[in-house]
Amino acid sequence: MDLADQVRSLRAGLDTQPAHMNIRKLFPMFAPAGFFETGGWPGPFVLPAAKGVGITWALDLGQGSHRYLDRTISAYWQEEGVDWKSAALANLRGASVERLYTHRMIRPNGELFAVAMLHTDGWGPSRLLLTDALQQLFPEGYRVAVPEMSCGLAISRNLEGPEEGTVDDIVTKCFGDGNRPLAQGIFEPDELVPDWAAA
């Protein structure tokens, strides 16, 4: 998609009034905690326990662009009795039915030991909030990583042999070489997922 199309889409989104915002286009997204720590962020956010990680929300404007949810829009939905956080999670679930992850890491016997989420829709790492689906994928338990704003990983709790080194290398490389580094390290799911998002 071309830059001019992205700019047109972004401008149209910024001009749209709250009453005309389509809540079906709202998604949660991870961002560096530093975005929010100065106190100047214009919209709602959450700082989960995972060091360096924040969560906010954005509207998908199409053409690869988005608009961060601001307090004017969230206040309008709240006044209208709309549970926009639940709506955003429902949108994410709907967008993930056919493709929860984009890449998988498997053992020689075919067992899954990790998955990566680098979706072209821009909401890849957000899928780490879908704990119910990930628990089905890793019934033995799992851990998570968000080394870059476009990359999330869910990792089996029971890694074997060189698997841990493989996963550590991926997280370190994505964080070190990514265009938008987010957080270094591997976390427990409840460090990343706030209570309101766990399902």
Neighbours of 122 (CB within 10 A): 16
pLDDT at 20 (0 to 100) = 62
In a domain, 61, yes or no: yes
Q: Tell me how many domains the chain contains.
A: 2
Residues 34 and 118 grouped into a single domain:
no
pLDDT at 37 (0 to 100) = 87
In a domain, 14, yes or no: yes
pLDDT at 195 (0 to 100) = 73
Residues 115 and 69 grouped into a single domain:
no
pLDDT at 64 (0 to 100) = 72
Neighbours of 154 (CB within 10 A): 25
Over residues 50-89, the pLDDT tens digits come to 999 999 999 998 877 788 999 999 999 999 999 999 999 9
Structural domain for 65, as ranges:
3-96
Over residues 99-135, the pLDDT tens digits come to 999 999 999 999 999 999 999 998 999 999 999 999 9
pLDDT at 141 (0 to 100) = 97
Q: Where are the beta strands (DSSP E) in the chain?
A: 26-32, 53-62, 65-68, 103-106, 112-117, 142-148, 151-156
Q: Which of 54, 73, 96 is the last residue of a domain?
A: 96
Q: Which of 40, 64, 96 is the last residue of a domain?
A: 96
Q: Which of 32, 65, 96 is the last residue of a domain?
A: 96
Neighbours of 25 (CB within 10 A): 16
Residues 140 and 185 grouped into a single domain:
yes
Over residues 19-58, the pLDDT tens digits come to 668 999 999 999 999 999 888 899 999 999 999 999 999 9
Residue 197: pLDDT over 90? no
Nearest-10 crossing angle of helices 84-96, 71-79: 100
Mean predicted confidence (pLDDT) in 6-11: 39
In a domain, 42, yes or no: yes
Higher pLDDT, 58 or 15: 58
pLDDT at 196 (0 to 100) = 63
Q: Are 174 and 149 in contact (CB under 8 A)?
A: no
